[in-house]
Amino acid sequence: MQVTSVNNQHPGNNHNITISTSPFHNITTSPFHNITTSPHHNISTSPMKNILKKLYSYQTLTYDEARETLHKVSSGEANDSQIASFVTIYLLRPITIDELRGFRDVLLDKCLAVELPDQTIDVCGTGGDEKNTFNISTLSAFVLAGAGIKVAKHGNYGVSSVSGSSNVLEHFGYQFTADAHVLRQQLADCNLCFMHAPLFHPALKAVAPIRKQLGIKTFFNMLGPLVNPAKPHYRMVGVYNLEIARMYHYLLQSEQRPYCVVHALGGYDEISLTGEFKTFSQQGEQIFHPNQLNLAVVTPESIFGGDTVEESAEIFKSILTGNGTQSQNAVVLANTAFAIQTVTQQSFTNCYKQAQDSLLSGKAYGILKQLSNG
């Protein structure tokens, strides 16, 4: 009875109640049953334990469970070990459509949404192909803008690669902002605005350091192109394997907006021109060889992105100023042409010519100078 008196007076001092002879020792209705002294491991993590047990048993999550789980992770209701375990599970087995939809929808619900006045396109890759190419989709965004296409680019720092889109743009002095007025003005003046993902997805703050520490692709790579806060009308998305390509194809079909999902069969999350590549769109699935498009096959070495952010930025600027190699230019122009085709439905040849004019005339580089203030 003396132990009970201490509990009533000092409920926070649960660490004093360890007497195994207490008549209350195993009563599960005690309000102090699972409380520990750790500030990051309390009663609120119990549902996360149940989800992990289910996943460890080789079961998948329903759409609602996926939403609930990522909500808990993003709301700080899971500790770092639980988050790492949760992420690792999807390195050991494929994600399901219901899980991907659930994760996507909760991030869109929690993001800082941006309303843009124009029908924009996003050109974005999942990353995670471990090929360390130069910033192809980011360069394509500038070439698109130079060709008069409105681009709402969504990107982030590199996690499994040396330099993501945010790394290279930050290097050139671009100021990240979540101010919708500024973004709309950039779109009006330059045909391009850039949304640095962490500013628009505060829900992912708890996950970011763990992703960085892991340093390998996770299912969050798959989510990036699906959670653009501006919800662009058109999408050009590169993915790192065919399984993910088919999932994107299924999900984007339901939105009934024009899209093109690409995967190079050599394992690239973009049109690499190193061999055959596959596209998925509202028109169906197609396999292309570069020669079919009157383009030469390039070597993996010719599209290497450098070992540092500085090297990546040097390659980026070299291409954008018209000093890229034939292989580098061809890869950027091929990706850009498919993006233009997604918007205009013109022939590939016409779209390639528009991209070429934007790049070689200096229009694309002019966009970078405008956005980075010189």
pLDDT per residue as tens digits for the range 298-317: 999 999 999 999 999 999 99
Angle at 54 between CA 48 and CA 58, to 5 degrees: 140
Q: What is d(CA 374, CA 371) in angstroms, rounded to the nearest whole number?
A: 8
CB-CB contact of 48 with 70 (8 Å): no
Instruction: Please tell me the distance from the alpha carbon of residue 219 to that of residue 128, in angstroms, as a whole number.
Output: 10
Q: What per-residue confidence (pLDDT) applies to 32?
A: 38
Half-sphere exposure of 331 (CA within 13 A, CB side): 34
For the chain, list residues with pLDDT below 70: 1-45, 160, 374
pLDDT at position 160 is 65
Pairing of strands 259-264, 277-281: antiparallel
Q: What share of the chain is helix, strand, coil (3-state, %, to 5)?
A: 50, 10, 40
**Cα–Cα distance between 15 and 298 in angstroms, integer?**
65
What is the identity of the amino acid at 71?
H
Q: Which two tokens stand for residue 93?
A: 């087995």
pLDDT of residue 2: 44
Residue 30 has a pLDDT of: 42
Give Cβ neighbours of residue 188 (< 8 Å, ≥ 6 apart): none
Domains and CATH numbers, the chain: 1-37 (no CATH), 42-110 (1.20.970.10), 121-371 (3.40.1030.10)
Quote the pTM value: 0.85
Contact between 303 and 331 under an 8 Å Cβ cutoff? The reply is: yes
Count CA atoms closer than 13 A to 99's CA, side-chain side.
18
Per-residue tokens: 133: 């190419």
Per residue in 147-180, pLDDT (tens digit) is: 999 999 999 998 767 899 999 999 999 999 999 9
Q: Which long-range contacts (CB under 8 A, 24 or more apart) does 56-65 make?
A: 56/89, 58/93, 60/96, 60/98, 60/99, 61/96, 61/98, 61/99, 61/102, 62/98, 62/102, 63/98, 63/99, 63/101, 63/102, 64/102, 65/102
Cα 367 from Cα 149, distance rounded (Å): 12
Provide the pLDDT for residue 292.
Answer: 97
267: which 2 tokens?
């394992």
